[in-house]
Amino acid sequence: MVIDQLDGRVPIQECTLVVTLEPCSHFGKTAPCADYIIEKGIRHVIIAAADPNPRVKGMGIAKLKAAGIKVELGYAEQQARKLNAEFYRLHESKRPYITLKWAESADGFMAAHSVSGTPVKTAISGNEANAFVHTLRARHEALLIGKQTLLIDNPELTVRHVVGKNPVRVIWCTNAVVDSTLHVFNSKASTVFIKNGYGTSDATHWYLQNNLPKALDVVQLLYTCNIQSVLIEGGAKVLQQFIAEGLANRIVKIVNPELFLKKGVKAPPMQITEKPYKLGKDLIYDIKY
Ligand SMILES: NC(=O)c1ccc[n+]([C@@H]2O[C@H](COP(=O)([O-])OP(=O)(O)OC[C@H]3O[C@@H](n4cnc5c(N)ncnc54)[C@H](OP(=O)(O)O)[C@@H]3O)[C@@H](O)[C@H]2O)c1
């Protein structure tokens, strides 16, 4: 903490502490900042903006005032909110940041069909685009797919082509999958099944408490489970649901302009007016809302 870096000769009780965000009042990744300020004997605190996190929301300020500290709120608030824009968006919308991502052929398919007409695992994008996707994975706290993608592709859902932390792997389903040979059951990252219907949630099964949930229910559940960003990697049904409900903050569509599948799993139809950029042989449409 910055207070600990002060020269020991500084009379801390005579100092004014100026902070961009309300000091927290709860135990999170660290102990409560408000308690530390009180313990250090600081008598005057200027706070740019209150904390919208329901676990703080004015309670940090109340704690400081109750300890007799002079508190001033609202100094340079707009600038402070700009600095922490993502943090405010998260708590005020009560939704994690949502990125939808998929790859499609030049003729608009996400996966080919086998001769018997069932979807099969299909490589669409090239190495450069794959590395970009792994960068996206590393920047999100969770990575969500639908159950069909799990069963058909048996994806690993980890960060491998770049250096980065593995997100939590989340599968949306009605009934969880128990085939322990699937890659999502390896120990490289944790895996959670978000399930339609009612039940008692535990570390690996989170119930939506709804038989016909919407994507918004999934998003709200992720927020209450402290997930701040999620990358939705498909398949088509899951992506469509998020698109239909207008939940995307960002859409990344990768198109292989040389691949024509003729039939298969249709990619979500999207009217995109933005121009793509080229990455290897692929075209990347990267749209932020
Ligand atoms: N090219 C790409 O970028 C890419 C990426 C991913 C996947 N894929 C391909 O996409 C294909 C699978 O796509 P898909 O559309 O058949 O299935 P999907 O979207 O992967 O999974 C659909 C499943 O999600 C679960 N789900 C639960 N509630 C839902 C709801 N309200 N809305 C939507 N889904 C819900 C359901 O599981 P329950 O049946 O248990 O209810 C449903 O069967 C595969 O062929 C895969 O290879 C391609």
Q: Report CA(153)–ligand 1 centroid distance (Å).
A: 11
Looking at residue 8, its pLDDT comes to 84
Structure confidence at residue 3 as a pLDDT band (50, 70, 90): confident
**Predicted confidence (pLDDT) per residue in 12-50, tens digit:** 889 999 999 999 988 876 788 999 999 999 999 999 999
Average pLDDT of the residues in 191-204: 95
Burial per residue of 115-147, b for 16 or more beta-carbon CB atoms within 10 angstroms, e otherwise? eeeebeebebbbeebbebbbebbbebbbbbbbb
Position 164 pLDDT exceeds 90: yes
Residue in 192, 265, 266 to alter for ligand 1 test, most ligand atoms within 8 A of Cβ: 265
Looking at residue 60, its pLDDT comes to 95
- CB burial class (10 A; 0-12, 13-18, 19+) of residue 89? middle
CA-CA distance, 16 to 8, in Å (whole number)?
16
Q: Which residues have any ligand 1 atom within 6 Å of their CB?
A: 102-103, 110-111, 119, 121, 124, 145-149, 152-153, 172-175, 196, 213, 233-238, 241, 265
Looking at residue 31, its pLDDT comes to 81
Looking at residue 39, its pLDDT comes to 93
Position 240 pLDDT exceeds 90: yes
Residue in 237, 251, 282 to alter for ligand 1 test, most ligand atoms within 8 A of Cβ: 237
Angle formed at CA 234 by CA 228 and CA 235, multiple of 5 degrees: 155
Q: From atom 24 of ligand 1, which residue's Cα is the shortest distance away?
A: 146
Looking at residue 174, its pLDDT comes to 93
Position 1 pLDDT exceeds 80: no
CA-CA distance, 224 to 207, in Å (whole number)?
12
Average pLDDT of the residues in 137-166: 97
Average pLDDT of the residues in 229-241: 97
Q: Which domains does the chain have, with CATH numbers?
A: 2-90 (3.40.140.10), 94-288 (3.40.430.10)
DSSP for the chain reads -GGGGS-TTS-GGG-EEEEEEPPP-S-SSSS-HHHHHHHHT--EEEEEE----TTTTTHHHHHHHHTT-EEEE-TTHHHHHHHTHHHHHHHHHTS-EEEEEEEEETTSEEEEB-TTS-B-----S-HHHHHHHHHHHHTSSEEEEEHHHHHHH----S--SSS-PPPEEEEEESS----TTSGGGSTTS-EEEEESB-----SSEEE-SBSS--HHHHHHHHHHTT--EEEE---HHHHHHHHHTT--SEEEEEEETT---SSEEEPPP----SPPEEETTEEEEEEE-
Residue in 130, 136, 149 to alter for ligand 1 test, most ligand atoms within 8 A of Cβ: 149
Q: Report CA(195)–ligand 1 centroid distance (Å).
A: 14
Q: Report CA(222)–ligand 1 centroid distance (Å).
A: 18
CA dihedral 28, 30, 34, 38 (to 10 degrees): 150
Position 54 pLDDT exceeds 90: no
Backbone angles phi, psi at 21, to 5 degrees: -130, 145
User: What is the position in ligand 1's atom list of the atom closest to the CA of 122?
Assistant: 47
Q: Could you give the percent of the chain with pLDDT greater than 90?
A: 84
Average pLDDT of the residues in 113-138: 96
User: What is the position in ligand 1's atom list of the atom closest to the CA of 213?
Assistant: 31
Q: Could you give the percent of the chain with pLDDT greater than 70?
A: 100
Q: Which residues contact 148 (CB under 8 A, 6 or more apart)?
A: 119, 235, 237
Average pLDDT of the residues in 203-225: 95
Q: Report CA(196)–ligand 1 centroid distance (Å).
A: 14
Residue 49, number of CB atoms within 10 A of its CB: 22
Angle formed at CA 145 by CA 142 and CA 150, multiple of 5 degrees: 125
Q: From atom 25 of ligand 1, which residue's Cα is the shortest distance away?
A: 173
Looking at residue 173, its pLDDT comes to 96
Give me Rg for the CA atoms of the chain.
23
- Across all residues in the chain, what is the average pLDDT? 94
Q: Report CA(255)–ligand 1 centroid distance (Å).
A: 19
Backbone angles phi, psi at 151, to 5 degrees: -75, -35
Long-range pairs, 199-202, Cβ under 8 A, ≥24: none
